[in-house]
């Protein structure tokens, strides 16, 4: 057992290394979820769900950009 605090021990791991692990885990979960959707709903269901998700993302971006470009008086 050491006398180092948890903060000191955590700082021994570099931030880029922690980010790399987080990114790799996120990509792994994306692949795993894609496989689970494919197995559950088949090819057509997977494509449909991804199309709906893509359109939702696009619509959110368009709405947020329109709100940012409008002034408070408009």
**Is a pLDDT exceeding 90 seen at residue 6?**
no
Q: Residue 68 has what pLDDT?
A: 73
- Category of 61 on φ-ψ map: left (φ > 0), alpha (ψ -120 to 50) or beta: alpha
For residue 20, give the nearest of 31, 11, 8, 28 by alpha carbon: 28
Q: Residue 5 has what pLDDT?
A: 58
Backbone angles phi, psi at 30, to 5 degrees: -65, -45
> Does residue 18 belong to any structural domain of this protein?
yes
Q: Which domain holds residue 26?
A: 6-69
Q: Mean per-residue pLDDT for 5-16?
A: 65
Dist. CA 67–CA 64, nearest whole Å: 5
CB-side neighbour CA atoms (13 Å) of 35? 6
Q: Please give the tally of structural domains in the chain.
A: 1
The pLDDT tens digits for 23-51 are 999 999 999 999 999 999 999 999 999 89
**Is a pLDDT exceeding 60 seen at residue 11?**
no
């Amino acid at each position: 057992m050491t006398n180092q605090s948890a903060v000191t021990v955590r700082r021994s791991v570099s931030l880029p290394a922690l980010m790399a692990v987080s990114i790799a885990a996120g990509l792994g979960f994306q692949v795993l979820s894609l496989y689970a959707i494919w197995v559950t709903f088949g090819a057509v269901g997977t494509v449909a769900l991804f199309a709906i998700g893509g359109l939702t993302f696009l619509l959110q971006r368009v709405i947020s950009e329109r709100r940012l470009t409008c002034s408070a008086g408009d």
